[in-house]
């Protein structure tokens, strides 16, 4: 099932490279909606690869039942110019992609500040991000912490395989003030992620952002910042969008119930961890309104 709603920060919608100028966001979606979820791909992703990832995620939502499938009406995919397709040596391009990521964040923050719900009422936004797309979103949150969006609350962020140094969101980190804006902050990580294990530290070092730092998406650090953390054991860097567990966890955090039978139908090697609260030093999550099919239409 294709994600039909889209937002593009590209000058061109075909091909593309990290040298593209990031354009303004002007489409009608998601103006006038009560709530919207925006998917954000990572670096080294072509436009087609990003679409395939979003569509795989959408297919899993539909398979979870009508309530989860109804979420698609308020889900949109963001496409930003982070697609230098260099295969196994993609980390060489990583320093070049930090600038488009930051510029994309600036344009996205400007756009978010213009949004409003039906009749000028408030709107809730949820971000589901992968890889360097997490950097885009955390930069957006940093900008919104300084200059808030008058009618938009970023209520939820889901960070998957976050290609962001742990130090940036730790105590005294540059991006920490923005991270705490959303009520719910779920981190999905994997110790089996070879890109974050080997390529990310070198790419960050080449980009001048630290000396072989650890990525958030490797161990789900730092503790105390996230309202929930889940390790998706066995996942390599590109395994998140097509992972059924991701759809289950996103549906759950958006308030859509997933039946026990559906959870148990997942492969044994990818058993969904129990949803448990974090240690007491972590921020307690606040309840959001139910995200149901009956509340989809603005």
Q: In what order do the strands lie in the sheet with 35-40?
A: 5-8, 75-79, 35-40, 123-130, 152-160, 184-189, 228-231
The structure tokens listed for 141 are 């949150």
Q: What is the pLDDT of residues 135-190, one digit of tens each?
A: 999 999 999 999 999 999 999 999 999 999 999 999 999 999 999 999 999 999 99
Average pLDDT on 52-62 reads 96
**Which CATH architecture is the domain 5-14+21-272 placed in?**
3-Layer(aba) Sandwich (3.40)
Phi/psi of residue 35, each to 5°? Answer: -155, 150
Q: In the prediction, which pLDDT does 13 show?
A: 45
Average pLDDT, the chain: 83
Of the pLDDT bands very low, low, confident and very high (cuts 50, 70, 90), residue 100 is confident
Ordered by start, the domain boundaries in the chain are 5-14+21-272
Q: What is the pLDDT of residues 250-270, one digit of tens each?
A: 999 999 987 654 444 444 344
Q: In the prediction, which pLDDT does 12 show?
A: 54
Rounded Cα distance, 224 and 137, in Å:
19
Q: Half-sphere exposure of 83 toward its Cβ, with a 13 Å CA cutoff?
A: 23
Lowest pLDDT segment from 39-53, 56-70, 110-124, 248-262: 248-262
What does the chain look like in DSSP terms, one character per residue?
Answer: ----EEEE--S-SSS--TTSPPPPP--STTTT-SEEEEEE--SS--HHHHHHHHHHHHHHHHHT-HHHHGGGGGEEEEE-S-----GGGGGGGHHHHHHHHHHHHHHHHHHHTT---GGG--EEEEEEEETTHHHHHHHHHHHHHHS--TTEEEEEEEEES--SBGGGTSTT-TTHHHHTSSSEEEEEE-TT-HIIIIIHHHHHHHTTS-SSPPBHHHH-PSTTT-SEEEE-TT--TT-STT-HHHHHHHHHHTT----HHHHHTS-GGGPPPP-----TTSPPPPP-----GGG---
Lowest pLDDT segment from 11-25, 134-148, 200-214, 232-246: 11-25
Of the pLDDT bands very low, low, confident and very high (cuts 50, 70, 90), residue 83 is low
Average pLDDT on 7-16 reads 63
Q: In the prediction, which pLDDT does 255 show?
A: 93
Average pLDDT on 103-118 reads 95
Q: In the prediction, which pLDDT does 163 show?
A: 94
Rounded Cα distance, 278 and 31, in Å:
35
Give the gyration radius of the chain's Cα atoms.
Answer: 18
Contact 126, 37 (CB under 8 A): yes
Angle between the N-to-C axes of helices 244-253 and 47-63, in degrees from 0 to 180, rounded to the nearest 10: 70
Q: What is the pLDDT of residues 84-99, one digit of tens each?
A: 554 444 556 667 778 8
The structure tokens listed for 27 are 């489409």
Q: How many percent of the chain have pLDDT more than 90?
A: 62
Average pLDDT on 264-282 reads 41
As beta bridge partners, residue 154 has: 125
């Amino acid at each position: 099932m294709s994600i039909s709603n889209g937002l593009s920060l590209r000058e061109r919608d075909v091909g593309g490279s990290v040298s593209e100028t990031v354009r303004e966001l002007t489409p009608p979606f998601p103006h006038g909606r009560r709530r919207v979820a925006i998917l954000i791909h990572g670096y080294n992703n072509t436009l087609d690869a990003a679409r395939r990832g979003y569509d795989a995620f959408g297919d899993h939502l539909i398979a979870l039942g009508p309530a989860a499938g109804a979420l698609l009406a308020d889900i949109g995919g963001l496409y930003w110019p982070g697609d230098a397709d260099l295969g196994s040596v993609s980390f060489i391009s990583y320093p070049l992609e930090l600038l488009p990521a930051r510029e994309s964040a600036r344009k996205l923050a400007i756009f978010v500040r213009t949004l409003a719900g039906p009749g000028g009422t408030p709107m809730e936004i949820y971000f589901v991000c992968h890889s360097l797309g997490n950097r885009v979103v955390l930069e957006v949150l940093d900008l919104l912490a300084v200059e808030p969006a008058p009618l938009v609350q970023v209520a939820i962020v889901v960070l998957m395989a976050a290609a962001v140094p742990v130090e940036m969101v730790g105590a005294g980190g540059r991006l920490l003030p923005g991270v705490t804006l959303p009520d719910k902050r779920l981190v999905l990580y994997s110790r089996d992620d070879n890109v974050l294990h080997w390529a990310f530290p070198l790419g960050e070092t080449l980009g001048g952002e630290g000396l072989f730092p650890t990525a958030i998406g490797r161990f789900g650090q730092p503790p105390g910042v996230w309202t929930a953390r889940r390790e998706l054991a066995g996942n390599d860097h590109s395994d998140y969008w097509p992972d059924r567990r991701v759809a289950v966890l996103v549906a759950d955090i958006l308030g859509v119930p997933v039946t026990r039978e559906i959870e148990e139908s997942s492969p044994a090697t990818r058993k969904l961890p129990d949803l448990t609260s974090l240690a007491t030093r972590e921020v307690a999550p606040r309840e959001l309104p139910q995200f149901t099919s009956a509340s989809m239409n603005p």
